[in-house]
């Protein structure tokens, strides 16, 4: 059974908000063939008291996520429900296209009387790579990595952490603070 977990940050989730979030975001579960856990975070952020709604759906090795900020919490829930629906539809259609391409390739190989390849690869042109950049990865600490990111005016920076001897990422968050990604 799919479960929807609604929690609040800096606000109390009223029964009305809980019911509204369940009703609006609950239909996302129909995109999955098995039960999933849908996490909904409702919060009030910043000095403007802006409402933020974040939906996270972990599914196998993927995580589907959508976030919306709005002055009205109910409007934010509506928008995030639409946004997560678009994300799931796009993922499902991409999976269908890939499956159809693999089926066509398999049928072609069988018609030709050739051996069937173990894995049929499809050129995924949904995400074309427009530029490849090589960078020198001298070991630095986190503060130096953030400084390098700010000097290049990028929103993230891949670096070799001197302290952990691992590849890590720092990034600039929407609220102006910084985040740090570590691979497990």
Q: What is the pTM of this model?
A: 0.61
CATH of region 142-182: 3.30.505.50
Q: Where in the chain are the domains?
A: 3-92, 142-182
Residue from 46, 94, 38, 44 nearest 66 by CA? 38
Domain 3-92 and domain 142-182, same fold? Reply is: no
Query: What pLDDT score does 120 carry?
Result: 46
How many CB atoms are located within 10 Å of the residue 8 CB? 16
CATH of region 3-92: 3.30.160.100
Residue 126 has pLDDT above 80, yes or no: no
């Amino acid at each position: 059974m799919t479960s929807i977990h609604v929690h609040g940050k800096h606000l109390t989730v009223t029964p009305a908000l809980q019911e509204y979030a369940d009703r609006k975001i609950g239909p996302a579960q129909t995109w999955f063939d098995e039960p999933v856990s849908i996490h909904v975070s409702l919060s009030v952020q910043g000095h403007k008291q802006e409402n933020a709604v974040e939906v996270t759906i972990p599914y196998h090795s993927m995580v589907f996520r959508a976030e919306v900020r709005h002055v009205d919490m109910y409007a934010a829930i509506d928008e995030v429900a639409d946004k997560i629906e678009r994300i799931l539809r796009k993922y499902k259609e991409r999976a269908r296209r890939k499956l159809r391409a693999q089926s066509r390739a398999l049928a072609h190989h069988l018609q030709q009387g050739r051996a069937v390849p173990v894995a049929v690869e499809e050129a995924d042109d949904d995400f074309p790579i427009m530029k490849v950049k090589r960078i020198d990865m001298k070991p630095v600490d986190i503060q130096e990595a953030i400084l390098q990111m700010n000097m290049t005016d990028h929103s993230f920076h891949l670096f070799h952490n001197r302290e952990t001897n691992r590849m890590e990422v720092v990034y600039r968050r929407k609220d102006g603070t910084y985040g740090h990604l570590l691979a497990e």
